[in-house]
Amino acid sequence: DQKYEYIVTSTPRPGVGQITLNRPKALNALCSPLMTELNAALRAFDRDESKSIGAVVLTGSDRAFAAGADIKEMKDLEFSSAYGRDFIKAWSELTEITLPIIAAVNGYALGGGCELAMMADIMYCGPKAVFGQPEIKLGVIPGAGGSQRLTRAIGKSKAMEIILTGKNFTAEEAEKWGLASKVFESPEACVNGALDTAEVIASYGRLAVKAGKEVVNQAYETGLAEGVKYERRIFHGLFASKDQKIGMTAFANKQKPEWSHE
């Protein structure tokens, strides 16, 4: 796909789409055109009629996942246009994608870069990943969900420390605190690990995977009783899918299921 300037897209494994942020001169700083391309590429994978893609890996370079929003682009922004055009809102499009997204983070994931990684469904990182919300040093605060997602992931005291001091944190800390699920021994191992997991997810029925993502996300939006009821309703609905019959019949017959994605 050569239609993009700031990203590279590929399908490196069966059922797996990969998006690589590719703006090396600015450490993948997330300028508006890059975000427009990222959203377009994610939508293209998500809406593929053939349902050929079942999971997406989002990564950057060894040096930087993304060093944040583009400070040079942002520096002269005024309140009227920031508020008037709801600056940064378009970033949330990523959270409307129904395919699972795995972030493979190597190098800098700062500010908007950290926020982008936190919007993914699963986060893996390499040994030299550097996370942080340094916005306070620029006279602002996180603007793409950082204060909310970081707090939910690692708790109030640590989130306050990071957001109010602007200090970075390491791959080991991200894993220990539950922000990332795994640290790999090298950047390549991190990307490969993400592709492996994406391939496993993509080997299942698309509807069940979509439902699984939806119900986990619901845990962030509702109380426990409501959430459990929500899960049960979605679970009930899956008995109307062909894949439920295919999966359970295959188990009973000791066969491998051939998913219809319907």
- Which parts of this chain interact with ligand CO8 (CB under 6 A)? 26-27, 29, 67-72, 87-88, 108, 110-112, 134-135, 138, 140, 143-144
Q: Quick one: 134 or 205, whose CB is closer to ligand CO8?
A: 134
> Residues 6 or more apart from 223 whose CB is under 8 A from it?
none
CB atoms inside a 10 Å sphere around CB 61: 18
The CA distance from 61 to 29, in Å, is 12
Q: Which of 54, 104, 115, 143 is catalytic?
A: 115
The CA distance from 106 to 150, in Å, is 18
Query: Coil, helix or strand for 10?
Result: strand
Q: Quick one: 95 or 222, whose CB is closer to ligand CO8?
A: 95
Q: What residues does 8 pair with on adjacent strands? A: 20
Q: Quick one: 133 or 241, whose CB is closer to ligand CO8?
A: 133
Q: In whole angstroms, how close is the CB of 262 to ligand CO8 at the nearest point? A: 39
Is-contact 59 194, C-beta < 8 A? Answer: yes
Q: Quick one: 87 or 177, whose CB is closer to ligand CO8?
A: 87
60 given a catalytic annotation: no
Q: In whole angstroms, how close is the CB of 101 to ligand CO8 at the nearest point? A: 19
Q: Which of 15, 68, 111, 112 is catalytic?
A: 112
Q: Which of 15, 107, 132, 135 is catalytic?
A: 135
Q: Which of 41, 69, 109, 198 is catalytic?
A: 69
Q: In whole angstroms, how close is the CB of 144 to ligand CO8 at the nearest point? A: 4
Is-contact 206 220, C-beta < 8 A? Answer: no
Q: In whole angstroms, how close is the CB of 18 to ligand CO8 at the nearest point? A: 23
Strand order in the sheet with 64-66: 64-66, 108-110, 130-132, 169-170
Q: In whole angstroms, how close is the CB of 241 to ligand CO8 at the nearest point? A: 39
69 given a catalytic annotation: yes
112 given a catalytic annotation: yes
Q: Quick one: 27 or 150, whose CB is closer to ligand CO8?
A: 27
CB atoms inside a 10 Å sphere around CB 214: 13
The CA distance from 81 to 172, in Å, is 39
Catalytically annotated residues: 69, 112, 115, 135
